[in-house]
Structure 1
Amino acid sequence: MELSSFKKWIDPALRAMPPKRMILTGIILIVLIMFIAIPVSNRWMYPLKYEEDILNSAKQYKISPFLVMAVIRVETKFDPSRVSHANAQGLMQITPGTVDTVIKNAPFSPAVRDQIGDPKVNIQLGTWYLAYLIKEFNGNEAVAVAAYNAGPNKVKSWLKDKKWDGTVQNANRIEYSETRKYVQKVMGYYGKYKSVYGSLVED
């Protein structure tokens, strides 16, 4: 339909519509547009890759997949090729020391040392280690996230010396600025990813 023909059709219809109904129709259209646009915008702002691997590993090790997503977002923005100056590798920035801890405490073969760059293996290792830290710190996810960044021994010393109470609200008291920002970012993204992708997980 040409624009001129469309206008000839729509103009009389709009003029015939009572003003109150026109306003109501406009409001409904705006709400519908927002209903469609906001989820699309949110998924653009909080992208997600390797969804199946994250969901499977999180389910296997009984932790929130949204926390795993948040860690990956902060660590590498879902870039599996990232390697740090400390030789932390892959999506979840697994260090050689972390691999040793995982192999020592979990049923992983030493062969995984050569597979850290594989996104699926990296997610499995990182998710297991994150679950291990959560258990180590009695279910406190914020403390586990801090330990993922700074190491469990350092975090234990902060808690023992009462330099930090282990809450997100008081994360500004964390001694290391890098870890302080890390905890705040991860826990912030945790909530965002849960809000945007909550429908991925069955109740």
Structure 2
Amino acid sequence: MAQLYFYYSAMNAGKSTALLQSAYNYKERGMHVEIFTAALDDRYGRGKVTSRIGLHADAHLFQAETDLFSAIEALHTASPMNCVFIDEAQFLSKAQVKQLCKVVDELNIPVLAYGLRTDFLAETFAGSHYLLAWADKLVELKTICHCGRKANFVVRRDENGRVVREGEQVQVGGNDSYESMCRKHFAELVWES
């Protein structure tokens, strides 16, 4: 029986690396997989999932208006699929998470979604919110704060290194813009300032 999995974490926990490793494991056993990623994140090129340690794979792009059920169903009809992988799952809409549930329930294809749980203000993204609510399995991937404790928050910094406490929820960036922190250090910089 297929299931919807949500692998979530703060930044720098190895989500893309884990996705690429799992996809490789399927392919190594002769199984067919498809990978999707958010069109708005093109830091490493369009239609690519790239990990910080250098692993990469081609991917289909999804945008806010993409009907993931229809896209996956068409790919599955052309060449039966054993698994679907979603990178940057926090950028999914509520409707798209429902579509992924439909992929699992009607097409019987496992879906493994990887994404951030919260943004730089500790608010959930729409995709993360509904994946946390509707996924069959939740798996937390862990990373650490500079103090050594588990980091489950992300601090956004501007071009001068100052902490950002307001702004648009979505701003694509890497280590130059974001730092993963434990709740204590996040609160000192964002909530208590």
TM-score by length of 2: 0.25
Larger % of strand: which? 2
User: Could you say which structure has the larger radius of gyration?
Assistant: 1
Higher helix share: 1
